[in-house]
Amino acid sequence: MPVRVQVDDFDVTAETERLVGGRKDIGAIVTFTGRVRGEDDGRQVAALTLEHYPGMTETEMASIEAEAMARWPLQAALMVHRVGEMKAGDNIVLVITASAHRSAAFEAAEFLMDYLKTRAPFWKKETTPDGGSAWVEARAGDEDAADRWR
Amino acid sequence: MPVRVQVDDFDVTAETERLVGGRKDIGAIVTFTGRVRGEDDGRQVAALTLEHYPGMTETEMASIEAEAMARWPLQAALMVHRVGEMKAGDNIVLVITASAHRSAAFEAAEFLMDYLKTRAPFWKKETTPDGGSAWVEARAGDEDAADRWR
Amino acid sequence: MATDAKRRVRLVYFAWVREKVGLPSEDVELPEDVTTVETLIGWLKQRGPGYSDAFARPQVVRAALDKVHVKPATPLGAVREIAFFPPVTGG
Amino acid sequence: MATDAKRRVRLVYFAWVREKVGLPSEDVELPEDVTTVETLIGWLKQRGPGYSDAFARPQVVRAALDKVHVKPATPLGAVREIAFFPPVTGG
């Protein structure tokens, strides 16, 4: 099942068709798109820089996806994560899950995002409108969200 | 917030951009796409005919969407349901939810689908490859899924 | 409506209820003793084999009054459109 | 590797660990008494102010051995690449 790390933006419809177009065994497709918000915990955010650990990122994402495929009856899954510079409103991450029925597709998409947020080696640096910058701190809530799948 | 009933297919990327393109207050977008499966409970399905109750459908969908907007901090939501003839592999229904954070977007999308499946006046008639046809029966599991939000 | 005694309403049918009744809709005058969804179903069942077939298991037929889901015991009141249909199967 | 006594490894740093250390990566020879992630961090902290700043709160620095997440007590074994980074914040 595919995972990708890329600088370029993605198109949800095009990725979905590439993943499951023409298949007739899929009743439910869930997509999650994460975007850069212009405000984070009260700070103004003009742009984000996404850094990652090449090699480990892809391995970790593939392992998270394999775990989802083992836990839910999925016909297909895709994870795409952007790196580099992004501005407020831009896409950051895409998860697609496809299954015969909707509950598996919804649960697996949530699981993939929760694990991606706590395991995949990506780091965000925020740039404020005045030119300042700061590394984003991990949220305890993300660890809690991931823990519920244990 | 928009709801639509239409004969034509929809494009997930285009609908998402129309709904939230250019906004900078959205961190999470969840989409659900329902498609015609070529097999349902062991029966082969060549095509589906979707019938609805014009007027009531739109009112009911708008009321389901208003309930989701009241229960979760959503920036936007969209429901599109196709009617008429569809063949295996075609899109039937689209739900989009957008929020600052992912948990609200995921939960609201599941809620919208569960309520749509049990309240909105649509009916599916399946056509098998040999030309036979039969109305789809409601699933008890759909009622259970909707009941968990009470 | 001119009087309460002759209540003219529109009945609409969907999916297999429509196919069994044989009509998508019809305008009817309700007798005085038809006051709820349940008594309306009872009256309809007398109107012919299509109706008695459609409402053979009344518990699986759903109803809406002026496009709002209702229970069988609901009074018809000043309703103008009454819909009968199977459990919904969209999505 | 030629001998166990002179273990040559690649260290890689990410995000603010990289910025504080001042390098994206470096090749080092580990002393014999550096056998775990924890003892490696202790050794690195002696190497200069950038290192001592980066590892000032070692509990918030995460480590990976040959691209696999590990705990501080994990033995280094025959590892070739050791990465240090803050808690991840992707997605």
Tell me the pLDDT of chain B (150 aa) as tens digits: 699 999 999 999 999 999 999 999 999 999 999 999 999 888 899 999 999 999 999 999 999 999 999 999 999 999 999 999 999 999 999 999 999 999 999 999 999 999 999 999 999 999 999 999 999 999 889 989 999 998
The range of the structural domain enclosing residue C64 comes to 13-85
Distance CA D12, CA D24 (A): 6
Inter-chain residue contact B35 with A13, CB threshold 8 Å? no
- The answer to whether residue C29 is domain-embedded is yes
- The answer to whether residue C35 is domain-embedded is yes
What does the pLDDT read at residue D5? Answer: 55
Distance CA B41, CA B135 (A): 13
Q: What is the pLDDT of residues C65-74, one digit of tens each?
A: 999 999 999 9
- The answer to whether residue D8 is domain-embedded is no
Residues belonging to chain A with any Cβ–Cβ distance to chain B shorter than 8 Å: 11-14, 16, 22-39, 88-89, 100, 102-103, 105-106, 109-110, 113, 145
Distance CA A67, CA A59 (A): 12
Q: What token pair was written down for C85?
A: 């249909």
By the 10 Å C-beta count (0-12 exposed, 13-18 middle, 19+ buried), D56 is classed as exposed
- The answer to whether residue D41 is domain-embedded is yes
CB atoms within 10 A of CB A14: 13
B12, B32, B110 member nearest A12 (Cβ):
B12
- Give the CATH number for residue D60: 3.10.20
Q: What element of type H or E holds A68? A: helix A56-71
- The answer to whether residue C44 is domain-embedded is yes
DSSP chain C: ---SSSEEEEEEE-HHHHHHHT-SEEEEEE-TT--BHHHHHHHHHTT-HHHHHHTSSGGG-EEEETTEEE-TT-B-TT-SEEEEEPSP---
User: Per-residue pLDDT for chain D (91 aa), expressed as one digit of tens each?
Assistant: 444 557 899 999 999 999 999 999 999 999 999 999 999 999 999 999 999 999 999 889 999 999 999 999 999 999 999 999 999 999 9
Q: Which residue out of B19, B30, B103, B116 would a mutagenesis test of the A interface target, given it has the greatest number of A Cβ atoms within 10 Å?
A: B30
Domains contained in chain D, number? 1
- The answer to whether residue C78 is domain-embedded is yes
- Cα angle, residue B71 at apex, residues B35 and B63 outer, rounded to 5°: 60
**Look-up: residue for tokens 């082969």?**
B44
The model's pTM is 0.95
- The answer to whether residue C41 is domain-embedded is yes
CB atoms within 10 A of CB A144: 11
- The answer to whether residue D40 is domain-embedded is yes
Q: For A64, left (φ over 0), alpha (ψ -120 to 50), or beta?
A: alpha
User: Per-residue pLDDT for chain A (150 aa), expressed as one digit of tens each?
Assistant: 699 999 999 999 999 999 999 999 999 999 999 999 999 888 899 999 999 999 999 999 999 999 999 999 999 999 999 999 999 999 999 999 999 999 999 999 999 999 999 999 999 999 999 999 999 999 889 989 999 998
Residues belonging to chain B with any Cβ–Cβ distance to chain C shorter than 8 Å: 34, 50-53, 55-56, 59-60, 81, 92-93, 113, 116-125, 135-138, 142
